[in-house]
Amino acid sequence: MAEKILVIGACGQVGTELVENLQSMHGSANVIASDIRTSDNPVFANGIFETLDVLDKTQIAEVFGKYKPTIVYHLAALLSATAEANPKFGWELNMDGTFNIFDACLEYKVQRIFWPSSIAVFGPTTPKVNTPQSTILEPNTIYGITKLAGERYCEYYNQRYGLDVRSIRYPGLIGWKSLPGGGTTDYAVDIFHQALKTGSYECFLNAGTTLPMMHMEDAVRATLEITNAASNSIKIRSSYNISGVSFNPEILSAEIKKHIPSFEISYVADSRQKIADSWPQSINDLQARQDWDWQEKYNLEKLVSNMLENLKSEVLKSN
């Protein structure tokens, strides 16, 4: 029987690219994209779309009842900077939304569910370099607190109710097909757009702020690989560390300069600096490599040339 796949929070940075991949793997008729808002990205015009607010249990029951999904990707969340600006709503959306979706998954006997965690589960007391899978978890942002509580919730639902939930701790994600919104790592996408449009970029993080990052193609592949892995290979039911590439704004801008020699970067740190300073610089993902064969494909050089090559035509089109 064909899988029926429901993507919740589909219009976001990860959702948009995930839906496109799922449509080509399973056929548009088997992928239900859902979000509280709509998007004019053509990917949604090609398939099924449902409006879905994860805080509205009636709407959730309608969508689950109508499609009876076998696999659910629950991506709806407020990211770090947006949640910090509205902590109560950040908690409500990220936690109550997850409770509602997990309960629906149990009720409608969903076979597998993917829920994204983040490097935001780590905090200022976590070892910053080559951060281990199991380590001190004392996040000091509301986003990180919801991600840590969510991880514990994933493991609890797996152990208590047998919910087959899989999760990875996303680093900052960098892709050219969709825009991020409300994150601390968003500079690493904005910088490419501005480099091509104006030839300069004012960065909201300081030059030396090293953070773990990943090309979106790697992130979507990791998401699909962990969700499709044999259940007995998934040993960690909270969330897996995964690593792509680590760099800071100065290193990234030097790599961009190899392609656009006149590119200039300046630095005016804002409130997102404090969030970035609480996160690790690099991640140890040995466990993901061992358990489900995780392997990234993009290093910094490949990531930068891929972003500039693909965005060039997009930016030219919009000018």
Q: Which residues make up the interface to ligand AKB (CB under 6 A)?
A: 79-80, 118-120, 143, 170, 172, 183-185
Q: Shortest Cβ distance from residue 79 to ligand AKB (Å)?
A: 4
Minimum CB distance to ligand AKB smaller for 48 or for 168 = 168
Smallest distance, ligand AKB to C-beta of residue 181, A: 10
Q: Which is nearer to ligand AKB, 69 or 182 (CB)?
A: 182
Handedness of CA 43, 45, 50, 51 (dihedral sign): positive
Smallest gap from Cβ 82 to ligand AKB, in A, equals 8
Task: CB nearer to ligand AKB: give 30 or 98.
Answer: 98
- Among residues 67, 73, 108, 143, the one annotated as catalytic is 143
Angstrom distance (rounded) from CA 72 to CA 80: 23
Q: Name the minimum Å distance from CB 112 to ligand AKB.
A: 22
| Amino acid letter, residue 89 | F
- With CB atoms as reference, the residue minimizing the distance to ligand AKB is 183
143 catalytic per annotation = yes
What's the start-to-end Cα distance of the chain, in Å? 46
Q: Which is nearer to ligand AKB, 10 or 63 (CB)?
A: 10
Tell me how far the alpha carbon of residue 265 is from its chain's centroid: 26
> Which residues carry out catalysis?
143
